[in-house]
């Protein structure tokens, strides 16, 4: 007798006033059509709709993976929004390993909500689930689909088109201060603000004078301003010569002002020098100690893909390593964008977590940072990448991070120490409310859906409220892939990256060019892009990254001289 071919069968499981649950399963059956069973034909051959109700799926074991997301429906009559929750619960065939299941569930979900053909209505949503299960995900045995109306609910305000975000904002002291901090240690003129912000000179001067009265900015000369870093900052034309015992062996490079503040809060015995110039790039160096180690920190004047920014980042790093020639270890410390996992709690990266650049254990090339210069879809539906990969000659810093990764009490103590030292310093250094950590997926045409953070499954331990979470993985960069969307997820999976940064490849080019064998990038997660969007989380994420940096430095072998 010929073996029956598997069909994809949909059956209603339950229905209430505001929810519907369906079961879609793979079955070897040959049913006959009736008033309760619809057997599809043509392009939909192999799909069966069973209209019997109150069906139990017969599965007693807990689901192998699950997720829930929310769509915001608009009433054509009133224009008001209502929120609908959609849950998916997965059971796979026995030959799929527990390790593979979350990856398969995540891949299914990403394809289901792909911007190319996101289903706009209920029928299209169920139809796409069945077609994916029928033609591609043949290890998926059973899927439970729940749709639940949750009443009125406004869509996310945070996801606004870039064109709207980039419109000229009204001037405020905070916006002027943000510009000064981004440029630091370079000074800005009044004309710089007028050109960049499209503001009047009078508005700019009023804001700058107010900031100067508050001790946040400093006039270097007539109409030229810089961030006032600390009261004891020394402005010099050249760095003073340091005796051998004061030479740092560790350099820390930051890109944002709050990152440098967080890193400096981890050091003792600080001295800050600014080499100020009106031609070319100014430089800031803060010298201090962490445990037995001498450390120097700096901030890049700008980052990004403009020729000026790339040149400045590389030159700043080269000058740092040229002045402090005893530096052996280089840390890139700051914020980054997390790569979420929608179905696996252990692999999920959330705001406030920290990612330490480390090689992927399942890849032969032990790269810790991968910069993507170009990403293109190929004829097979996959992606082709042009990349610049980086790996240290010595993995000492990564090895220490791996050894300490289960000792979260160390990180938490340093976070609390940093909070004490930063008390009174502008910025919200404490973690924002958890409700602000909203996870979204772009579905095309400027629209987003909100996805619930995964919950622990099986023997996974719930770490909520138990302190800082540290992940070890490669870090990625490159605006070709770091934005939201399919390319971001695809490249992260390709590189095994759990974080993206704001494009620091020029810094690493200089580090490797100067033959520094030990380097690491530590990213505190402030958003789900590249770290530059999540202003609310940046100070705390920077502090978390700095705390992990301090933990690694404190565990390093003591200096030999």
pLDDT tens string 119-164 = 878 889 999 999 999 889 999 999 999 999 887 766 665 443 343 3
- Lowest average pLDDT, out of 86-90, 269-273, 301-305, goes to 301-305
Angstrom distance (rounded) from CA 147 to CA 150: 10
Helix, strand or coil, per DSSP, at residue 337: strand
| 405 or 51, which is more confident | 405
* pLDDT (mean) for 181-185: 89
d(CA 320, CA 332): 13
Q: What's the mean pLDDT when you consider all of the chain?
A: 86
Q: Is the pLDDT of residue 40 over 80?
A: no
What's the CA angle centered on 134, arms 132 and 135, to 5 degrees?
Answer: 70
Of 54-63, 262-271, 276-285, 548-557, least confident by mean pLDDT is: 54-63
Q: Provide the pLDDT for residue 255.
A: 94
Residue pair 117/102 in contact by the 8 Å Cβ criterion: no
Structure tokens at 361: 């254990």
- Picking from 82-96, 306-320, 347-361, which range would have the lowest pLDDT averaged per residue? 306-320
pLDDT for the residue 447: 72
Q: How far is CA 328 from the centre of its chain?
A: 28
Report the alpha-carbon distance of residue 275 to residue 284 in Å, rounded. Answer: 6
Q: Determine which of 13-27, 63-77, 464-478 has the lowest per-residue pLDDT on average.
A: 63-77
Share of the chain above pLDDT 70, in %: 91
Cα-based angle 37, 18, 156 (whole degrees, multiple of 5): 115
Q: In whole angstroms, give the CA distance from residue 106 to residue 344.
A: 9
Which residue is listed with tokens 């909203």? Answer: 438
Q: What is the pLDDT of residues 402-461, one digit of tens each?
A: 999 877 678 999 999 999 999 988 888 999 987 788 888 877 766 778 899 988 877 777
CB 21 within 8 A of CB 15: yes
Least confident of 10-24, 88-102, 297-311, 513-527: 297-311
What are residue 335's DSSP bridge partners? Answer: 524
**Count of C-beta atoms within a 10 Å radius of residue 28:** 9
Specify the pairing of strand 234-236 against strand 268-275. Answer: parallel
Q: Which of the residue ranges 88-102, 295-309, 323-337, 492-506 would you say has the lowest mean pLDDT?
A: 295-309
Characterize the bridge pairing of strands 369-377 and 383-390. Answer: antiparallel
Give me the pLDDT at residue 305, please: 59
Amino acid 158: pLDDT? 45
Q: Rounded to an integer, what distance in angstroms lies between the CA atom of residue 208 and that of residue 474?
A: 41
pLDDT of residue 35: 67
Q: What is the pLDDT of residues 276-294, one digit of tens each?
A: 776 778 889 999 999 999 9
What is the average per-residue pLDDT within 383-393? 95
User: Which range is most confident: 50-54, 310-314, 339-343?
Assistant: 339-343
Between residues 114 and 348, which one has the greater pLDDT? 348
Report yes or no: 197 and 158 within 8 Å, Cβ to Cβ: no
Instruction: Please give the pLDDT value at position 43.
Output: 72
The pLDDT value recorded for residue 466 is 72
Q: So what's the pLDDT on residue 280?
A: 73
Res. 386: pLDDT tops 50 = yes
pLDDT score, position 168: 56
pTM, to two decimals: 0.89
234-238, 342-346, 466-470, 475-479: the lowest-pLDDT one:
234-238
> pLDDT tens, 463-508?
766 789 999 999 999 989 988 677 888 899 999 999 999 889 999 9
Contact (Cβ atoms closer than 8 angstroms) between residue 69 and residue 119: no
Band of pLDDT at residue 356, cut at 50, 70 and 90: very high
Q: Which domains does the chain have, with CATH numbers?
A: 6-152 (no CATH), 162-228 (1.10.10.10), 242-428+438-449+467-561 (3.40.50.1580)
């Amino acid at each position: 007798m010929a073996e029956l071919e598997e069909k994809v069968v949909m059956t209603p499981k339950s229905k209430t006033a505001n929810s519907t649950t369906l079961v879609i399963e793979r079955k070897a059956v040959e049913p006959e059509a009736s008033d309760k069973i619809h057997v599809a034909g043509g392009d939909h051959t192999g799909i069966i709709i069973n209209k019997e109700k109150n069906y139990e799926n017969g599965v007693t074991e807990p689901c192998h993976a699950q997720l829930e997301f929310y769509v915001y429906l608009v009433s054509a009559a009133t224009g008001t929004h209502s929120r609908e929750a959609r849950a998916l619960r997965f059971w796979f065939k026995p030959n799929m390993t527990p390790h593979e299941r979350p990856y398969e569930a995540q891949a299914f979900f990403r394809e289901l909500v792909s911007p190319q053909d996101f289903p706009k209505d209920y029928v299209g949503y169920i139809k796409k689930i069945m077609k994916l299960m029928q033609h591609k995900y043949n290890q998926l045995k059973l899927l439970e689909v729940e749709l639940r109306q949750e009443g009125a609910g406004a869509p996310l305000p945070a996801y606004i088109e870039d064109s709207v975000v980039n419109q000229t904002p009204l001037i405020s002291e905070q916006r002027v201060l943000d510009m000064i901090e981004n440029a630091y240690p370079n000074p800005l003129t009044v004309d710089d603000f007028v050109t960049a912000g499209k503001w009047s000179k009078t508005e700019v001067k009023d804001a700058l004078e107010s900031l100067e009265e508050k001790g946040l900015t400093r006039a270097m000369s007539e109409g030229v301003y810089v961030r006032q870093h600390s009261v004891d900052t020394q402005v010099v034309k050249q760095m003073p010569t340091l005796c051998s015992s004061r030479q740092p062996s560790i350099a820390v490079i930051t890109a944002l002002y709050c990152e440098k503040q967080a890193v400096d809060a981890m050091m003792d015995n600080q001295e800050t020098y600014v080499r100020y110039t009106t031609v070319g790039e100014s430089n800031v160096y803060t010298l201090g100690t962490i445990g037995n180690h001498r450390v120097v920190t700096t901030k890049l004047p700008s980052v990004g893909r403009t020729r000026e920014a790339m040149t400045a980042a590389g030159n700043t790093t080269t000058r740092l390593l040229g002045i402090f020639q005893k530096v052996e270890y280089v840390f890139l410390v700051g914020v980054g964008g997390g790569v979420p996992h929608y179905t696996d709690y252990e692999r999920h990266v959330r705001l406030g977590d920290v990612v330490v650049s480390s090689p992927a254990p399942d890849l032969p090339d032990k790269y810790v940072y991968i910069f993507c210069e170009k990403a293109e879809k190929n004829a097979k539906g996959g992606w082709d990448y042009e990349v610049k990969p980086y790996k240290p000659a010595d993995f000492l810093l990564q090895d220490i991070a791996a050894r300490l990764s289960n000792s979260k009490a160390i990180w938490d103590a340093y976070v609390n120490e940093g909070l004490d030292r930063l008390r009174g310093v502008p910025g919200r250094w404490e973690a924002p409310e958890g409700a602000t950590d909203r996870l979204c997926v772009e579905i095309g045409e400027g629209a987003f859906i909100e996805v619930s953070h995964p919950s622990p499954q099986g023997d996974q331990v719930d770490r909520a409220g138990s302190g800082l979470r540290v992940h070890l993985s490669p870090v990625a960069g490159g605006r070709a892939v770091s934005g939201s969307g399919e390319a971001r997820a695809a490249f992260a999976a390709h590189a095994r990256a759990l974080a993206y940064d704001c494009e620091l490849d020029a810094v690493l080019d200089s580090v490797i060019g100067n033959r520094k064998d030990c380097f690491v990038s530590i990213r505190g997660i402030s958003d789900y892009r590249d770290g530059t969007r999540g202003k609310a989380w940046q100070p705390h994420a920077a502090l978390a990254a700095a705390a992990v940096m301090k933990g690694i430095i404190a565990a390093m072998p003591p200096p030999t001289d």
